[in-house]
Chain A
């Protein structure tokens, strides 16, 4: 566009700038919309994929690991909650929760031998033995995932338990005191907030030894 001198010329330049700006905004918006659409499409394709390959995901650890990677790439965490689409479709939350419980169980059983620290490979071997038949193979990757889902800090308060399970205070305390009596937990009354904490030594040691890998 040829620049013309005088006021008229200035007005034309201003209009041109506005038009370019508008175009720029539109392009940005289109780009964002496209991306959103791509993600939405990817997500629904992922869900479709999960539906189709449900059995493979449950039974094959290598497959399962790659599936987790794909999910991570689009910001999907199938383990995020025990409710909702992923949990219902795959029962995958339950799978890891169950795995977590078994891992704690094994650690407790081996504690007299190893003082509460077990190496990841050995843990997986014992786990595989226990799960032999129908439950499907378990990889070290699975163990790591399950372990990271256990309370990372290694302790809980009564409030947290109440909230997590929607229990009354009495029920939460009973449950925690039972674990205490069985030697699975230790109390900690030393925090400055004055709230009693229940620590689970087994969990903390796994977390520490795994972190060293």
Chain B
């Protein structure tokens, strides 16, 4: 099986026709499904949160079979993820896509577990500490994309689990937990 670093690539990745958008509906559906799963799996294992359509995202080409996904194909597969709530476009031109291999709700749950596990129920932390502080090491929160983190925190704020407050600059946004 071919690998991309540590990641095991599925067989279809070496089959040239999968790099061409298929015109026949059932075939296309199967193709889209395979690509959606691959993109999510890869982003999850490599902790990739943003995919740029015009950048060298490794999954977009396979030099072994000398094929690359057209822009149309890239947009089609990512749009399918967006429709499913597994991704969001970051710009109107659909050039950058936020990948939600955990949905926002799932991230919110992870944050809650993190707070409980570390006894932080009544503490205050900065947003940056949550994603890169010592407590975060070894957890899924380590290195999380800021945009996603803030979205999850806002969700929890709506549920009254915490309060977000601004510090002296955007880097200092703080969170007071009240679980």
Residues A190 and B15 in contact, CB atoms below 8 Å apart: no
Complex Cα spacing A93 to B22, Å = 34
Asked whether any CB of chain B lies closer than 8 Å to the CB of A180, the reply is yes
Asked whether any CB of chain B lies closer than 8 Å to the CB of A186, the reply is yes
Residues A189 and B66 in contact, CB atoms below 8 Å apart: no
Q: Name the interface residues of B23-72: CB closer than 8 Å to any CB of A.
A: 23-24, 26-27, 66-68
The chain B residue sitting closest to A182, CB to CB, is B24
How many residues in A have their beta carbons less than 8 Å from beta carbons of B?
15
* Nearest CB in chain B: distance from A213 CB, A: 18
Given A191-B66, A197-B17, 9 further pairs, Cβ under 8 A: A155-B16, A180-B24, A186-B17, A186-B20, A186-B27, A187-B22, A188-B20, A199-B16, A204-B15
Residues A199 and B17 in contact, CB atoms below 8 Å apart: yes
The chain A residue sitting closest to B61, CB to CB, is A190
Contacts of A199 in B (CB 8 A): 15-17
Closest 7 CB pairs of A and B: A186-B17, A190-B67, A188-B17, A188-B16, A199-B17, A189-B20, A190-B19
* Nearest CB in chain B: distance from A28 CB, A: 50
* Nearest CB in chain B: distance from A100 CB, A: 21
Residues A181 and B24 in contact, CB atoms below 8 Å apart: yes
A positions within 8 Å CB-CB of B: 155, 180-181, 183, 186-192, 197, 199, 201, 204
Contacts of A197 in B (CB 8 A): 16-17
Residues A190 and B68 in contact, CB atoms below 8 Å apart: yes
Contacts of B68 in A (CB 8 A): 190
Residues B15 and A201 in contact, CB atoms below 8 Å apart: yes
Sample (24) of A-B pairs whose CB atoms are under 8 Å apart: A155-B16, A180-B23, A180-B27, A181-B24, A183-B24, A183-B27, A186-B18, A186-B27, A187-B20, A188-B17, A188-B20, A188-B67, A189-B20, A190-B20, A190-B66, A190-B67, A191-B66, A197-B16, A197-B17, A199-B15, A199-B17, A201-B15, A201-B17, A204-B15
* Nearest CB in chain B: distance from A71 CB, A: 35
Complex Cα spacing A188 to B18, Å = 8
Residues A186 and B22 in contact, CB atoms below 8 Å apart: yes
Contacts of A186 in B (CB 8 A): 17-18, 20, 22, 27
Complex Cα spacing A201 to B68, Å = 19
Contacts of A188 in B (CB 8 A): 16-17, 19-20, 67
Complex Cα spacing A206 to B139, Å = 44
> Given contacts A199-B15, A199-B17, are A187 and B66 in contact (CB under 8 A)?
no
* Nearest CB in chain B: distance from A195 CB, A: 12
Residues A192 and B16 in contact, CB atoms below 8 Å apart: no
Complex Cα spacing A187 to B18, Å = 8
